[in-house]
Homo-oligomer: A and B are copies of this chain.
Amino acid sequence: MSRVQDASISEFALDAWSRAELARVERALSQWVGVDAPGDLAEAMRYAVLGGGKRLRALLVRAAFEAVRSGAAPQDAVTQCALEDMALRAACAVELIHAYSLVHDDMPCMDDDVLRRGKPTVHVQYGEALALLAGDALQAFAFELLTPDDAPALAEVQAALCRLLARAAGSAGMAGGQAIDLASVGRTLDLAQLRRMHELKTGALLQASVRMGAAAAMALQAPAGAALARYGAALGLAFQVVDDILDVTADSATLGKTAGKDAAHGKPTYVSLLGLEGARAQAQQLWAEAHAALAASGLPDTRALAALADMVVCRSH
């Protein structure tokens, strides 16, 4: 994928930008998650959320927010501050939904995983009952974070964020994709079905992250909003295609999880359906689509979004 690497990954200091953004997101999550919860539940919720993960979803929210702000007329300081706060809340909310889905996915009745990011999974650490409740509470907390009651002027932004997140998390999004995945065990999926499953299972929340960033900057309906939605859709699929490529090309140590797992389980992947070269071409095409959408957005500064697309496609783990 040398063409991709040549393109733009060096033009924007993604590392420095990510570090600064993630410091804010981690601090906010640490300040907010579990504070109202009874002892055991608070601990399980914090264990599930804090100190781990790439936070790609949070970064997408922040990058989309900044891109839209770069093209918007300056606002008064109070509004600007309130919107910044909503963008931070949105970044945390998508991570809460992602974290809850991992807690429930890892449970014995689902994937029955005992390790995640090198630590015991939540149900191993706290028991299944508390893991179930922690996941449930994290989902509710995502919507709580999006609706602070000291910001009535931003009701429209709050409602839009809840709308986007609920659809992305629910039966026409992440949960729906997981149900398709569950039903596909031992069956053959064609490329359209595989694509549909991933659009829901991982794509919906990745795309929603981008759209929520735009919504926090009040640009959901503008032409820029539509272009960013296309960027999010392409990036969401690219993420999964690259996952499938890494599953056969990377070793477990680099990957941080067991390589070759999908093939071993006979699960259909982009590589099994398209071949390795075909899957690489597909990733390349989705990467181009993401960049084309950014170019079409008319936004002056989409560097962070561009760099995230490059990272998703060029990553080694």
Binding site for B on A (CB under 8 A): 34, 36-42, 45, 100-101, 104, 107, 109-110, 127-130, 132-133, 135-137, 139-144, 146-147, 149, 152, 155-156, 158-160, 162-163, 165-167, 169-173, 175-176, 178-180, 182-183
Contact = CB atoms under 8 A, between A and B. Distances in A.
A183 B142 CA distance: 24
Q: How many copies does the complex hold?
A: 2
B132 A107 contact: yes
Given A133-B175, A143-B162, 5 more contacts: A37-B179, A40-B183, A110-B132, A140-B171, A143-B166
A149 B176 contact: no
Secondary structure dominating the interface of A? helix
A26 B42 CA distance: 36
B143 A143 contact: yes
Contacts of A160: 147, 155
Given A40-B183, A155-B159, A182-B129, A175 B110 contact: no
28 contacts: A36-B172, A37-B171, A37-B175, A40-B182, A41-B175, A41-B176, A100-B136, A101-B136, A107-B132, A109-B128, A109-B129, A132-B132, A135-B136, A136-B139, A136-B175, A139-B140, A140-B175, A143-B143, A143-B166, A144-B166, A144-B167, A146-B166, A147-B162, A155-B155, A155-B160, A158-B158, A158-B163, A162-B162
